[in-house]
Structure formats: structure tokens, C-alpha cells
Structure 1
Amino acid sequence: MDRHNALGEFLTARRALVTPADVGLPADASRRVPGLRREEVAVLAGVSTDYYIRLEQGRERNPSQQVLEALARALCLDEAATLHMLRIGLPAPRLPGTTTAAVAPALQQLLEQMHGVPAFVVGPGQDILAANAVAQTLYRGFARFDNLLRMIFLDPYAREFYADWDNAAAVAVRNLRAATAVPDRRTDQVVDALTSRSPAFAALWARYEVRPRTNDDKHFHHPDVGEIRLHFEMFSVASAPGQHLSVYNAPPSTADAEKLTLLAGLSANATGNAQPQSSHS
């Protein structure tokens, strides 16, 4: 992924998503570009057209926070997208430390003790670094349980497994886009691989939509338990920056809870809780 002009690419993509009606401008039948024109964004943000063009082209690399916030309002960005733009547009000190693909033994032990719910650890680029038996049983229809993005976009089974594949794909890409505000080599590798191999990913990625995901409701079609709806929560691993613990659950005394219990029973017959191999897509 080319990060040389991340802010300019973001502005260009998001400008194309805003219609004149969104910002109170009259419709124009002669309009030849999707979304807003550069000069329209400049007027709405209170900057010169030349300055805005230089921002998009990467010739201006030191915008103020005030300018970026004005552009966020002009482009109708929500809080998550605004924060993302500030992160890529403002210089920030690099924090010490690097992400790691090694899961701490204590965290691995915790996963193995969670017998009733699917739980797994995700690293940069959405690699699956470790998973308990219930999680492996939940995802058993995939050829490999190794990287959530690769599974969604490159494994045909994903379109059977996710009841609403289009939504699952869009959510995953928005979440990945949020992670790119902090440069990470593994995430760049995943983006490059999927952009070249999946037109669906490339189209969603080009929209520059941002939405970090910390919880969600999932609807799956599982080969053993049928339709099941689970609630997803993600927790940052404080001792390992870049790693997150993902856990699924279901409300008690529901049909989904019963199916989750059945899934856990099936997983109890699995031999061991082997750590999945990380795939560099």
C-alpha cells in the first residue's frame, strides 16, 4: 500500500461520496464528477481552492488541525472518519515498541479455559494468532482459519457462512481502514495482497470509509447448528499492543444460546487447541 499521500487519497475518495444535496448545494446536470468538486470543498471549508488542490496532490503536507476539522465538516465526516483524518494528516511522535505475533502463555491459557464461547486473538492485519476450540469449530468450514480478511474475501465458503456477506465485508474493510492511521507493515501486506486478488475488496477499500469495530452482532450459517446469531466484543491486550481478544456470546435462555452450547459440545470432541498458522496473504 502506497502511503506517500495518505491524506490526499483520503480527501479525494471522501469528496466523491458527498453529493451536492448533502451540503445544500443545487443540483447541476452538467456535473461530470461524482460527489463534490474541489472548489466546492474549498469554499465549504473556508480555504483557497489552490491550497485544497495542493492538499489532495500531496504538495501541502502540514495542514493545521483547524483546517482538517473544517474539511471534516465540509465532507460530512463522522467522528471515526474525522479522527482517522487527523491521525494521518497531523504529524505525531512515533511511540516506542512494536507489535508482536507471539501470544503470551497466560493469554493462551485463558483462551483454553473459555470452554463455552468462541474466543480468539487477532493481530495486525487481522491475522488469527491463537484460538480456542469453540472458535475453531465455529469457523471450521473455512479452508484455513488464519486471517479474517483473507477468509472473507478469498474463501468461497464465506458467502455461505455470513448471512449478510456484503455487510460483513464492508464492516471488515472499514475496521481495517481505521487501523491504517498507525503505519504497520503487516497490515500493508494484507491490503496489497487483497487489492490485487479481490475486486470486491479493492472496491470497498477505495471508498476510504472508516469505522473501528469494538462490538457487533453477527449472523452466521453454520454447517452443524444452522443459523446462529452471536454478539461480538473485542478487547485490547494491554500487554501486547496491536493484539485484540475477540469473544462471541449469546443472550441466555435463547435459541442462539442453546446452539452455542451445542457448538461448545461439538468442540469438546476436538483434539487439542492447536494455534492456527498465520498466513501472509
Structure 2
Amino acid sequence: MTTSPPRTEHTPDHVPAPDAQHADEGAGTAYSARHAEIYDHIHAARGRDWVAEADAVARLVFERRPGARSVLDVACGTGAHLRRLREHFPVAEGLELSGTMREIASARLPGSTVHRGDMRDFDLGTEYDAVLCMCFSMGYMASTAELTAAARSLARALAPGGVVVAEPWWFPEHFLDGFVTGSVAESDGLVVSRVSRSVREGRRSLMTVRYTVADRAGLRAFTELETYSLFTHEEYTAAFTAAGLDTTYLPGPPNGRGLYVGVRT
């Protein structure tokens, strides 16, 4: 079952950027090492509530699979959601392509496994009660073929009757061409400013982001380009259906883009 997404304007949240990668990372990654180091500070300044989001996602899972005990967070980043999810699920693991982000998540979550993997083709040989893909990471897929491959990977990691929760990027009709925004994060001797401008290029959104970082060691600045595909609601739904998921779209929270919730049939 699906419902149609709303038509609303937005203030883009910050997401990882794809220009600088570890040698072991492929096209599916979107985190540079320098960005990973300031990622949590940026999100804190922008008001992202990791605890509330993790609690809400856990409720969606338990509504559809009471007694769920295991969760895999795909594209888990620094493990901010996982830190809270461990309070809901006895087994809480992550999967991340970025080496720097994996290192941060592993240090933050002793005792939890953070696997290296690409959402387009990972296969851990394990089935989980729930698989998550938050922070609009599926928007990094470059085509509908990649989107479908990612959906199939998520579904393959599920036990029968298990639940996928995925946060999409903006739908084409919601994206604001030329949108600009900025923020400043200050904490523990670190100040990070971020300004961005987003434009549309065909079926993609291109966000140019400029960072200035000040700490006791000095002042530095860098620019990153974040590229996302503007998939339609119908394309997301088709990908999840092809993966064998009975999917519902829930508009709105947590960040204006809504969530897809699918159950493995």
C-alpha cells in the first residue's frame, strides 16, 4: 500500500558530500574525511535530534514486527542513530562505506559491529528484523537501476516479515532550485560555519557547500559538491516493490521528506 507524498517547501538538512574519498571507497560513498570529522557538530547546530528519530523509527518497526530484536543501520555514518537504537534492539549493527565514518562509529559504539559495505550490493549473510537507511542516503544512487539494486540489498538483509525504514531525498516537485542556507556550530574550542546553494540539473540536485573551520590549530576552509538524484515517489515505490517489499509512504517527519516503511513479503 502506498500513499502520495505532500507538496511542501523545505529547508534542506545537511548531508555528506562526495568529492573526497578514502582509497577503499567507491562511487556509492559520500563522506570525505574532513567532513566526517565535523559531521556531528554541523548536525547539532542544525537541530537534528538523533534520539527522537531513532525512537520514532523503532516505534514504526515494533508496530509491524512486535518483538523485533535486531537492526542493521545501512549508511550509518558516525553511528548517531545506532547509539540510541542499541537501547531498543539487543542486536544493533551498522554498515558504512566511508572509512572515516566507520572509524568514528566503531569508536562511539564499542561492542557493536560496523560493517564495511556498499548499499547497492552488500550481503552480510545475516537476516535482521529491521533494516534502516536514513539521512536520505538512497538519494545518492545515480539511476533507477542503482535505486532498485539498493532496495534489493536492504530487503535481502531482512528476515521474512522484517521491516525496512528508508528516508528519501526530495521528490522533483518539492526541490527548490537556487535555495541557499547557512549555519554556525560552536563547541569545545571548535567553530564550523556552513553555507550552501542548491541547484537542479536535469534529474539531479547539486548542492555546493562551503565550510570554514576554526580551532586552536588554526583556520581552514574547503568546498564540497553534494549530488543527489531527484527520484519520484513512483520510482521509489517501484524499487521497493521490485525488492519484494509491501511499502507505505509516510509523509512529513522526521525531516520533511517523509519515510518509506516496507515489510518483506
TM-score, L = length of structure 1:
0.27
Larger radius of gyration: 1
Q: Which has the higher helix share?
A: 1
Q: Which has the higher strand share?
A: 2
TM-score, L = length of structure 2:
0.29
